[in-house]
Structure 1
């Protein structure tokens, strides 16, 4: 039959032995692959996964390398699955269903809940008096004392992406754009207002001054560096960021400096307001409210401990 050496083989055949066992990384790549196919391509899945197109492409290439098969065609003609990719997609869905089914069966075997609950929070969740997350944690610990908690703080988009890829069980974030891959359970509201600090040109202007007379666009504005209701509120006022922050602590400092305008949660600003360090700018026209919600994956459905914690959150927030 002649010599059929490695140089005559396709790259996918050479890579066939790379996947000897499944790791957590492999499962994450499989979840990303499913999301890309459900969205119809790399560009369309950027919002759902909250990662850039080049990173998504690398993840798919890594998965192709791991399993030794070309999964999709990408290029000027658009995104499409190869015949092998169609088969891998079906196998991937069966794999995740099996994993989730196994977890559900293990949960049902235990007379009490065990394992780890991975919760994500946006940094404002702990200071809002309307937020009763601490009460939900207290109730959950009484219900499931053997479940360990892991809590991560991050920007809303990052938290949603981590819930989507399964590295978090649920997260509490402000609602600013709904993802079809996630379920949203409204919990509480937060009221935001534009503020300035001592020494700012607007500090001594009467609060009753109409917004149209203030020409806010001429002043420096500090805002969050990620997509959020804050960003949309600023855009509606014609404000462009001169400073970008990741946490409310940094935003508070910039506003108190007297050099920047910035949206602060009213409960955060209250202490600075009492000390005379800040004051609201046209509160009747710049204030807005946003709703915080608990988010979890739609498919596969949350496991038992996650469902129980969601119920504790619902009970702690009877009036969203």
Structure 2
């Protein structure tokens, strides 16, 4: 079992990271500039060092084990932090080159993704030797990745009390949302009218989003009967479409994805309305050099423009 990392272990982890990211040995060959037998030998040596089976390979194709998934996620976290360290170190010498990591909250609309692409293109054009690593994270992870140094910037909504250890750059727009159900749900018949006095929303199971407070799902004297939680709006929408739950969703999801599914805004969309501001976020320990400042400015501009 590995007790201490050596330089050779880091090289082996980089091979495994590439293989796992490419989902196979063959696909990783051009990335690593290594031949398959050498890649296979490196993975085998890493497994011996860790005393773990990281992946299965054979006729069934490449498949990571549960242990391999854990090692992959930890490896990604380490390498992201290391790349960020190198980038920040170069900035101290006015060398604005290297990799920056940008995290997007999972479930943002396509229009925002396109706006992010424009902002990244502008940043890479202004600073010649910059490469941008774009990732997505669940809502309940965005604060952690900003604080931990795993990334430089995060684009996300935020509806909780803002911690002092994180800097929030407002984009100037908000995502609106409300209470939805499936067309097969008993409350779907109240799509275009208010709920009758004898119908209580508390009597219908609801699904919540992990990390999302949304005023603790309370509106006036009504409270959602949260029976289970999901880790994203996308997954919550899947649960809602079973017809067993009601739940909060941003309106852009209902328009972009839910229209074909027949998602129903309950009571003409008047219940549990929410408005979550969108921010570019960074940890206070992130050094905002000219590259990151330019990227924040471009993200703010292009995302705001995309919603007009």
TM range (shorter): 0.5 to 0.7
Secondary structure, counterpart of 2:149 in structure 1: coil
Q: Distance in 2 between matches of 1:101 and 1:133?
A: 22
1:172 maps to 2:155: yes
Q: Distance in 2 between matches of 1:198 and 1:179?
A: 39
Query: How far is 1:268 from its partner?
Result: 0.9
Q: Is the 8 A contact 2:106 2:232 kept in 1?
A: yes
In structure 1, the residue matched to 2:106 is: 123
Normalised by the size of structure 1, how large is the TM-score? 0.60
In structure 2, the residue matched to 1:214 is: 199
Normalised by the size of structure 2, how large is the TM-score? 0.62
Q: Is the 8 A contact 1:127 1:267 kept in 2?
A: no
Unaligned runs of 5+ in 1: 1-17, 19-97
Trace 1:25-104 onto structure 2 (pairs within 5 A).
102-104=89-91
2:246 to 254, 257, 261: 261
Structure whose CA Rg is larger: 1
Change (3 A) 1:213 1:103: farther
CA RMSD of aligned residues (A): 3.3
Q: Deviations over 1:98-123 (max 9, x none)?
A: 999843333x2x4xx31111111111
Q: Deviations over 1:210-229 (max 9, x none)?
A: 486531111111121x2224
1:160 to 143, 151, 175: 143
Q: Is the 8 A contact 1:194 1:287 kept in 2?
A: yes
Q: Distance in 2 between matches of 1:116 and 1:101?
A: 10
Q: Distance in 2 between matches of 1:157 and 1:247?
A: 9
How many correspondences in the alignment? 222
Q: Deviations over 1:4-23 (max 9, x none)?
A: xxxxxxxxxxxxxx9xxxxx
Trace 1:106-255 onto structure 2 (pairs within 5 A).
106=93, 108=94, 110=95, 113-127=96-110, 132-176=115-159, 177-187=161-171, 188-210=173-195, 213-224=198-209, 226-230=210-214, 232=215, 234-236=217-219, 237-255=222-240
Q: Distance in 2 between matches of 1:211 and 1:298?
A: 50
Q: Distance in 2 between matches of 1:136 and 1:275?
A: 30
Q: Distance in 2 between matches of 1:101 and 1:250?
A: 36
Q: Distance in 2 between matches of 1:115 and 1:170?
A: 15
Q: Is the 8 A contact 1:129 1:267 kept in 2?
A: no
Q: Is the 8 A contact 1:120 1:152 kept in 2?
A: yes
Q: Distance in 1 between matches of 2:264 and 2:92?
A: 55
Q: Distance in 1 between matches of 2:248 and 2:169?
A: 25
Unaligned runs of 5+ in 2: 5-84
Q: Is the 8 A contact 2:169 2:281 kept in 1?
A: yes
Q: Distance in 2 between matches of 1:101 and 1:203?
A: 53
Q: Is the 8 A contact 2:124 2:131 kept in 1?
A: no
Secondary structure, counterpart of 1:223 in structure 2: strand
